[in-house]
């Protein structure tokens, strides 16, 4: 029986190790293959192509994706098999839409609504547009609050910043209006080449964050035609590449140019030219770096934040006394609020180093708003006084910094007034009252004594 | 249990009135009527006065015991018709707090900060309630538990008010024994045991402050009057203790602390000052105020609020008066006059100045709106819509006087007449109590409750005095008969009834003419007294009849379960409220916030155990107005408000499907008024289509855009209701104006069986688009 037990144990161990081995091998291989980064969660990527030729013309881009651990599936826009979700479950984590001219999807399971539902369910989308955008792609873009010029032949023209290889329309432009937010896009060494359409944010929509904007002289119009009205997008308002992050932290990047992600633009030199003359020549455009950075951002390989362990600790009066975690707070006490925030750097979670994370203590209106300090290990905390007004408060951290995923943490607590036995018992100002009470009692005692044991003298009676 | 003797005596009297030409009946009547008049005529039945007194006391206590039982059982209609449950709105709060108290004890209760109501402001329960009721019920619960009687806290709460009604009857007996005599006491006890005006607030399940407070009110008055009559310090101390219980139980103690000074003042003016009065009042005022200050909710009101200043002033006046009496005893009349002129005037001036200074610096608070509205019935309507919106704060109609007091309405003047005829120190008090409470009852329906005991006490005096007078006549005539013809009288009392008339006629023939005239007078007096006592008996039977009918039909409805009569006369129950509250309890996460009009706040926290924004404790008008404004505005504006207030669900009550008339559409006008009183973007006229408040085709766009309309009538346009019409509102009897629409930020979560309660979920903001930031954070 002992032998059988040992053998059973052995098989069990084998089963465990067998289960573990493939996973660890996979991780090992992935870490070998992925030099720079990988997505924080899920790497199933669906690429929908206008035509199969894009696979070769944009091979460098796809190769980079695969090198970063993406499990890429290619589908043609006309193909009838593609589906993003099945039984309310996402089949993919990321979607690349390289089909700017597709009038309709071959698959009945794909539509503008399906794509927006995919995003609402947490999927990320990279959408490449182009001049001559189809109605379908306009609808997809509109779901993300992005609006293209009604004239489909309009494209970005810049008579002062075009590339030397331009064909004469001045629409192969040299763009360097990068966003200053490093979380969105690290500092770029070289300008990028861009050829395609610019877009604008829809009215009242504040979710669109520009990654690349046009130069002050860029505008969006039909080439080689005289302008009768103001173009739909001019200068910095003409967004060339933009990012949208949903409230569920799903990310979308829309680029107005499909070509800027192509092998040709990746390797092309840049020679900034204007109508006045030629500028300096750079041997290689910034397109490859740019494409890599924006795809890392959109596929959650960078600038991803997560928070945990939001809590508050009551420190008692003047920050001393009993230290109590959670529960009901008392007015005028000190409270310490803390929260851990980590950032995904592409390989692992590292402590977040932001120094502008604020916490608010809110009851209808903010009563306290403090910037938290961190200890370098991702623990953000701040100590402050509980408001002097009792009620039900929420500690709210609503951190929405461009490029980073949002942090919205709400922690509800009650702030109570003093209990009836928590006030100071003997205060100097009340001593006259104590004295008067004691004097009254003593007086009454003496009076009663006198009253009871005093006999009226007969002398008075005689009178 | 007491119903039997009452009905027995009354039916006998009824017979007596009908057959009054037969003197034989007098005797039988004479024996039966005292059963409910007890003290007066029963004496005739016994030879020895001492034995008579003893047996009379026994009879009296037996009657009081049965009145107690009657008062208790009368109030159980609601339990038999429905079930043992807590009624209405406020009782749910009292029940919830009682449970808390019974579970956690006094210290926790006193310091209870409740985050579940008035989100996010919260409420300190211990400091904002009168804890008398909860303390009473919890103590009863603890005592019963201590003796291992396993009762449910709910049943204790349900039966608290009926039990205290029985005690009130006893207190009324004691009171009237002080004012008039025991007979008046017993009659008053009978009246108060079943008076509909009091039953309306004290049926089983109506677990509200008034249930115990009316007992405390009558008992305090009794103790005070006893102290006034006897001048004993210990009784005055008892009055102070009873008063402090009243302070702990109900805000109506203001009535006591104003009416007793008024009484003292009138006694002074009437020249009826006595040191007994001085002792009674000063003890009650000083100790009562000190004890009353121990209630956190009342606190320093006794010395700081305008409502209590009359008592303080009277206290001061009494001291001055007593001082003057003492000074007068030392000085000659001339010296005294000049002394009064100089010193007292100066002192009076100084006091007036001090009061003025205290008022202007705000140390003494001005009168509250509620107090003003008592003095000026139109005040609330003009200035405080939140007070005017409550139906029980409306002025009283004549019909409700008759409905709530029945014959007592007419006995009040009679009682006053008897008291004026024979003025006593204690009688004056009842006069003042009757007159003032009659005035206040006219101001708001709710205060009918204060008038009801006064009416019963006055009615007790009136009925017992009347009966006493006429029974006296009856007895006199009987005795004159007896003196004339012993044998006839003896035969009348003991022999067969049919023989009597013949014999007495024979006997009368032999009298002289003078004796015959006296006999004739006695005969007519006897007839009159039989007529009057008979009439009174009939009235009292009708009163009992009416009280039972009222209790059974009108006052036993718990209002959370609605009952209606079907076509075949059977009872149909609408249990929508409990269905919906249970749905919330079982299907939503703990801690979610529910927005509804304040009427349903207590019920939601009590039955669903969920957080509400506003409730029946209407302490923060602005918060209520915010909810009113949200209900009255369109979806976009309302959504902003709801997000700001963290509302997860919205609950509305809709009666259009079954014809339940006190629904939110009918209350909507008050939401608009209260909302408009604070926020000036809500205009009442915008909701009037062609000058009328309607939701049919004449309804304005503001009306049909409001979320109240949208939620109440959501999908109602798809329902074929009466007469083959879709969307026919049965409460307002018309077809609704707007039928087809969709909701954007709200979605239907639950609708009860008869559509009475509808619950809507507030959707989360869209994932994409719109303004990003949390509205609470974005506000500066």
Per-residue pLDDT tens digits for B596-635: 998 899 999 999 999 999 988 878 889 999 999 999 999 8
- Put simply, the answer to whether B779 touches A365 (Cβ < 8 Å) is yes
pLDDT tens, B473-517?
A: 888 877 776 655 544 444 444 444 444 444 444 555 555 666 777
By the 10 Å C-beta count (0-12 exposed, 13-18 middle, 19+ buried), B219 is classed as: buried
B277: left (phi over 0), alpha (psi -120 to 50) or beta: alpha
Give contacts of B612 with chain A, Cβ < 8 Å. Answer: none
- Put simply, the answer to whether A416 touches B111 (Cβ < 8 Å) is yes
Would an 8 Å CB–CB cutoff place B767 in contact with chain A? yes
pLDDT at B36 over 50: no
Would an 8 Å CB–CB cutoff place B779 in contact with chain A? yes
Residue in A with minimal Cα distance to B626: A364
Task: Give the pLDDT band (50/70/90) at residue B780.
Answer: very low
What's the rounded Cα separation, in Å, for the pair A136 and B766?
22
Which pLDDT score is estimated for A383? 92
How far A419 CA lies from chain B's nearest CA (Å)? 6
Residue in B with minimal Cα distance to A413: B115
- Put simply, the answer to whether A207 touches B769 (Cβ < 8 Å) is yes
How far A141 CA lies from chain B's nearest CA (Å)? 12
What's the rounded Cα separation, in Å, for the pair A290 and A287?
5
Out of A116, A394, A419, the one facing B111 most closely (by C-beta) is A419
How far A395 CA lies from chain B's nearest CA (Å)? 11
How far B765 CA lies from chain A's nearest CA (Å)? 9
- Put simply, the answer to whether B110 touches A248 (Cβ < 8 Å) is no
A379 closest CA partner among A347, A408, A400, A354: A354
User: Which of B767, B778, B779 best probes binding to A when mutated, by most A CB atoms within 10 angstroms?
Assistant: B767
By the 10 Å C-beta count (0-12 exposed, 13-18 middle, 19+ buried), B313 is classed as: middle
B376 Cβ partners below 8 Å, 6+ apart? Answer: none
Which of A341-345, B349-353, B750-754 has the weakest average pLDDT? B349-353
Which pLDDT score is estimated for B83? 87
User: Which of B113, B299, B626, B648 best probes binding to A when mutated, by most A CB atoms within 10 angstroms?
Assistant: B113
Give contacts of A408 with chain B, Cβ < 8 Å. Answer: 774
Interface of A with B in 202-241 (CB under 8 A): 202, 204-207
Out of A206, A362, A364, the one facing B771 most closely (by C-beta) is A206
3-state secondary structure of A308: strand
How far B246 CA lies from chain A's nearest CA (Å)? 22
User: Which of B114, B115, B610 best probes binding to A when mutated, by most A CB atoms within 10 angstroms?
Assistant: B115
Element (H, E) at A241: strand A239-245
A61 closest CA partner among A266, A333, A347: A266
| Most distant CA atoms of chain B, gap in Å | 116
Q: Do A353 and A374 contact (CB within 8 A), yes or no?
A: yes
What's the rounded Cα separation, in Å, for the pair B102 and B98?
6
How far A276 CA lies from chain B's nearest CA (Å)? 42
pLDDT tens, B182-212?
A: 889 999 999 999 999 999 889 998 999 998 9
- According to DSSP, the residues that pair with B594 across neighbouring strands are B612, B649
A361: left (phi over 0), alpha (psi -120 to 50) or beta: beta
- Put simply, the answer to whether B768 touches A363 (Cβ < 8 Å) is no
Residue in B with minimal Cα distance to A408: B774
What's the rounded Cα separation, in Å, for the pair B382 and B393?
14
pLDDT in 10s for each residue of chain A, 463 residues: 555 555 655 655 555 555 544 545 544 444 444 446 778 878 899 999 999 999 999 999 999 999 988 999 999 988 888 888 888 899 999 999 999 998 888 888 888 889 989 998 999 999 999 888 899 998 888 888 888 888 888 889 988 888 888 887 888 899 888 998 888 899 988 889 999 999 988 766 567 889 999 889 899 888 877 888 888 888 888 899 999 988 889 999 999 999 999 999 999 888 887 766 667 788 888 899 999 999 999 999 989 999 999 999 888 776 565 666 668 888 888 899 999 999 998 888 999 998 899 999 999 889 999 999 999 898 999 999 999 999 999 999 999 888 899 999 999 999 988 888 888 888 889 899 999 999 999 999 999 999 888 776 665 544 4
Which pLDDT score is estimated for B489? 43
Q: What's the whole-model pTM score?
A: 0.81
What's the rounded Cα separation, in Å, for the pair B94 and B212?
12
Give contacts of A246 with chain B, Cβ < 8 Å. Answer: 767-768
B288: phi then psi, degrees, rounded to nearest 5? -60, -45
Are β-strands B649-653 and B593-595 bridged in parallel, bridged antiparallel, or unpaired? parallel
Out of B122, B771, B777, the one facing A360 most closely (by C-beta) is B777
- Put simply, the answer to whether A392 touches B121 (Cβ < 8 Å) is yes
pLDDT tens, B687-710?
A: 888 888 888 888 888 888 999 999
A343 closest CA partner among A355, A331, A354: A354
What's the rounded Cα separation, in Å, for the pair B104 and B99?
8
Out of A204, A247, A396, the one facing B777 most closely (by C-beta) is A396
pLDDT at B394 over 50: yes
- Put simply, the answer to whether B645 touches A392 (Cβ < 8 Å) is no
CA atoms within 13 A on the CB side of B55: 15
Residue in B with minimal Cα distance to A393: B120
How far A359 CA lies from chain B's nearest CA (Å)? 10
- Put simply, the answer to whether B124 touches A416 (Cβ < 8 Å) is yes
- Put simply, the answer to whether A391 touches B121 (Cβ < 8 Å) is yes
Tell me how many residue pairs between chain A and chain B have CB atoms under 8 A apart: 84
Would an 8 Å CB–CB cutoff place A196 in contact with chain B? no
Alpha carbon distance, N-terminus to C-terminus of chain B: 69
| Angle, CA A109 vertex, CA A106 and CA A114 arms, to 5° | 115
- Put simply, the answer to whether A364 touches B769 (Cβ < 8 Å) is no
Which pLDDT score is estimated for A131? 87
What's the rounded Cα separation, in Å, for the pair B593 and A412?
12
Out of A205, A247, A328, the one facing B113 most closely (by C-beta) is A328
Interface of A with B in 379-418 (CB under 8 A): 390-394, 396, 398, 400, 408, 412, 414, 416-417
A167: phi then psi, degrees, rounded to nearest 5? -85, 0
User: Which of B296, B777, B778, B780 best probes binding to A when mutated, by most A CB atoms within 10 angstroms?
Assistant: B777
Which pLDDT score is estimated for B37? 44
pLDDT tens, B255-295?
A: 999 999 999 999 999 888 999 999 999 999 999 999 999 99
Which pLDDT score is estimated for A30? 46
Give contacts of B765 with chain A, Cβ < 8 Å. Answer: 247
Residue in B with minimal Cα distance to A247: B767
Are β-strands B728-729 and B734-735 bridged in parallel, bridged antiparallel, or unpaired? antiparallel
How far A24 CA lies from chain B's nearest CA (Å)? 36
Interface of B with A in 85-114 (CB under 8 A): 107, 110-111, 113
- Put simply, the answer to whether B122 touches A244 (Cβ < 8 Å) is no
What's the rounded Cα separation, in Å, for the pair A407 and A357?
10
Give contacts of B630 with chain A, Cβ < 8 Å. Answer: none
Out of A392, A416, A421, the one facing B120 most closely (by C-beta) is A392
Helix axes B153-179, B49-74, angle to 10 degrees: 140
By the 10 Å C-beta count (0-12 exposed, 13-18 middle, 19+ buried), B217 is classed as: buried
A190 closest CA partner among A64, A287, A61: A287
Residue in A with minimal Cα distance to B774: A398
How far A220 CA lies from chain B's nearest CA (Å)? 24
pLDDT tens, B122-181?
A: 888 888 899 999 999 999 999 999 999 989 999 999 999 999 999 999 999 999 999 988
pLDDT at B594 over 90: yes
Would an 8 Å CB–CB cutoff place A166 in contact with chain B? no
Dihedral sign computed on CA atoms, order B627, B631, B633, B638: positive
pLDDT tens, B622-670?
A: 999 999 999 999 988 899 889 888 899 999 999 888 888 888 999 998 8
Would an 8 Å CB–CB cutoff place A113 in contact with chain B? no
Which pLDDT score is estimated for B495? 41
Give contacts of B625 with chain A, Cβ < 8 Å. Answer: none
Q: Do A394 and A369 contact (CB within 8 A), yes or no?
A: no
């Amino acid at each position: 029986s002992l032998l059988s037990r040992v053998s059973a144990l052995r098989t069990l161990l084998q089963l465990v190790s067998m289960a573990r081995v493939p996973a660890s091998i996979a991780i090992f291989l992935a870490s070998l293959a992925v030099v720079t980064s990988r997505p924080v969660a899920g790497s199933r990527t669906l690429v929908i192509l206008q035509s199969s030729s894009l696979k070769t013309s944009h091979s460098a881009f796809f190769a980079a994706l695969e090198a970063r651990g993406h499990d890429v599936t290619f589908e043609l826009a006309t193909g009838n098999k593609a589906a993003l979700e099945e039984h309310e479950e996402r089949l993919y984590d990321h979607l690349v839409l390289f089909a700017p001219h597709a009038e309709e999807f071959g698959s009945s399971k794909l539509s503008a609504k399906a794509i927006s539902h995919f995003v609402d369910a947490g999927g990320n989308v990279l959408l490449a547009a182009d001049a001559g955008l189809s109605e379908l792609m306009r609808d997809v873009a509109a779901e993300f609050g992005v609006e293209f010029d009604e004239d489909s032949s309009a494209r970005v023209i810049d008579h002062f910043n075009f590339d030397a290889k331009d064909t004469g329309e001045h629409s192969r432009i040299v763009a360097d209006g990068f966003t200053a937010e490093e979380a969105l896009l690290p500092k770029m060494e070289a300008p990028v080449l861009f050829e395609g359409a610019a877009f604008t944010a829809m009215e009242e929509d504040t979710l669109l964050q520009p990654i690349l904007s046009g130069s002050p002289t860029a505008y969006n119009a039909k080439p080689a035609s005289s302008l009768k009205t103001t173009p739909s997008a001019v200068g910095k308002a003409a967004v060339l590449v933009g990012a949208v992050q949903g409230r569920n932290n799903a990310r979308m990047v829309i680029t107005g140019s499909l070509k800027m992600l192509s092998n040709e633009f990746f390797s092309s030199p840049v020679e900034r030219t204007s109508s006045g003359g030629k500028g300096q020549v750079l041997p290689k455009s910034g397109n490859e770096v740019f494409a890599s950075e924006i795809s890392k951002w959109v596929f959650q390989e960078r600038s991803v934040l997560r928070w945990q362990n939001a809590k508050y600790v009551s420190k008692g009066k003047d920050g001393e006394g009993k230290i109590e975690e959670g529960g009901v707070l008392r007015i005028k006490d000190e409270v310490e609020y803390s929260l851990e925030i980590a950032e995904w750097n592409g390989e692992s979670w590292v402590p977040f180093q932001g120094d502008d994370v604020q916490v608010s203590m809110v009851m209808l209106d903010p009563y306290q708003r403090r910037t938290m300090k961190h200890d370098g290990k991702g623990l953000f905390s701040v100590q402050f006084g509980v408001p002097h007004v009792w009620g039900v408060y929420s500690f709210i951290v609503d951190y929405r910094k461009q490029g980073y995923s949002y942090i919205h943490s709400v922690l509800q607590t009650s702030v109570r007034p003093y209990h009836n036995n928590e006030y100071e018992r003997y205060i100097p100002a009340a001593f006259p009252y104590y004295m008067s009470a004691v004097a009254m009692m003593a007086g009454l005692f003496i009076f009663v004594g006198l009253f009871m044991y005093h006999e009226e003298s007969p002398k008075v009676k005689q009178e | 249990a007491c119903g039997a003797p009452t009905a027995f005596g009354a039916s006998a009297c009824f017979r007596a009135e009908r057959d009054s030409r037969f003197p034989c009946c007098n005797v039988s009547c004479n024996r039966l009527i005292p059963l409910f008049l007890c003290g007066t005529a029963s004496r005739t039945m016994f030879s020895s006065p001492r034995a008579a007194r003893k047996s009379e006391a026994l009879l009296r206590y037996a009657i009081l015991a049965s009145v107690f039982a009657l008062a208790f059982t009368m109030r159980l209609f609601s339990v038999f018709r429905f079930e043992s449950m807590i009624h209405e709105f406020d009782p749910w709060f009292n029940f919830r707090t009682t449970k808390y108290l019974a579970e956690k004890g006094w210290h926790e209760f006193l310091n209870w900060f409740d985050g579940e109501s008035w989100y996010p402001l919260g409420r300190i329960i211990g400091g904002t309630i009168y804890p008398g009721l909860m303390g009473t019920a919890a103590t009863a619960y603890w005592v019963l538990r201590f003796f291992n009687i396993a009762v449910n806290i709910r049943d204790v709460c349900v039966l608290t008010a009926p039990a205290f009604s029985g005690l009130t009857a006893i207190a009324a007996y004691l009171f009237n024994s002080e004012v008039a005599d025991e007979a008046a006491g017993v009659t008053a006890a009978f009246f108060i045991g079943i008076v509909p005006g009091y039953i309306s607030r004290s049926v089983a399940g109506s677990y509200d402050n008034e249930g115990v407070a009316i007992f405390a009110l009558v008992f305090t008055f009794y103790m005070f009057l006893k102290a006034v009559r006897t001048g004993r310090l210990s009784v005055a101390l008892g009055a102070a203790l009873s008063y402090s219980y009243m302070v702990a139980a109900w805000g109506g103690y203001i009535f006591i602390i104003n009416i007793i000074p008024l009484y003292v003042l009138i006694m002074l003016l009437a020249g009826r000052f006595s040191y007994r009065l001085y002792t009674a009042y000063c003890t009650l005022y000083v100790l009562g105020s000190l004890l009353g200050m121990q209630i956190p909710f009342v606190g320093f009101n006794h010395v700081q609020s305008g409502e209590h200043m009359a008592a303080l002033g009277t206290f001061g006046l009494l001291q001055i008066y007593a001082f003057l009496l003492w000074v007068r005893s030392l000085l000659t009349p001339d010296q005294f006059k000049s002394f009064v002129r100089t010193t007292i005037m100066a002192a009076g001036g100084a006091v007036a100045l001090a009061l003025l200074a205290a008022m202007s610096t705000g140390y003494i608070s001005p009168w509250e709106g509620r107090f003003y509205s008592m003095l000026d019935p139109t005040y609330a309507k003009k200035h405080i819509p939140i007070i005017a919106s409550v139906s029980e704060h409306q002025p009283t109609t004549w019909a409700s006087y008759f409905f709530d007091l029945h014959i007592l309405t007419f006995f009040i003047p009679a009682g006053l007449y008897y008291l004026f005829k024979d003025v006593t120190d204690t009688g004056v008090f009842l006069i003042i109590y009757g007159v003032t409470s009659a005035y206040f009852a006219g101001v708001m329906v709710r205060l009918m409750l204060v008038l009801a005991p006064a009416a019963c006490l006055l009615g007790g005096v009136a009925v017992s005095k009347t009966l006493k007078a006429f029974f006296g006549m009856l007895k006199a005539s009987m005795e004159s008969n007896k003196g004339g013809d012993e044998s006839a009288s003896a035969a009348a009392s003991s022999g067969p009834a049919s023989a009597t008339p013949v014999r007495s006629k024979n006997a009368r023939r032999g009298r002289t003419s003078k004796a015959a005239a006296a006999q004739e007078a006695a005969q007519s007096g006897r007839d009159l007294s039989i007529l009057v006592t008979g009439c009174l008996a009939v009235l009292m039977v009708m009163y009992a009849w009416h009280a039972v009918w009222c209790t059974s039909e009108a006052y036993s409805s718990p209002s959370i379960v609605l009952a209606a009569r079907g076509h075949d006369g059977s009872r149909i129950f609408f249990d929508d409220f409990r269905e919906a509250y249970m749905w919330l309890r079982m299907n939503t996460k703990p801690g979610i916030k529910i927005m509804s009009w304040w009427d349903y706040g207590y019920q939601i926290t009590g039955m669903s155990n969920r957080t509400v924004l506003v409730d029946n404790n209407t302490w923060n008008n602005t918060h209520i107005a915010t909810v009113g404004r949200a209900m009255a505005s369109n979806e976009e504006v309302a959504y902003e408000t709801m997000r700001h207030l963290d509302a997860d669900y919205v609950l509305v009550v809709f009666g259009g499907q079954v014809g339940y008339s006190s629904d939110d559409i009918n209350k909507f006008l008050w939401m608009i008024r209260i909302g408009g009183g604070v926020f000036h973007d809500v205009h009442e006229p915008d909701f009037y289509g062609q000058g009328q408040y309607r939701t049919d085709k004449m309804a304005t766009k503001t009306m049909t855009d409001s979320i109240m309309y949208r939620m109440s009538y959501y999908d109602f346009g798809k329902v074929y209701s009466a007469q083959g019409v879709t969307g026919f509102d049965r409460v307002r009897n018309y077809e609704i104006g707007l039928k087809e629409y969709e909701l954007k930020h709200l979605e239907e979560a639950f609708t009860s069986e008869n559509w009475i309660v509808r619950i809507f979920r507030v959707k989360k903001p869209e994932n994409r688009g719109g303004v990003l930031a949390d509205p609470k954070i974005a506000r500066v």
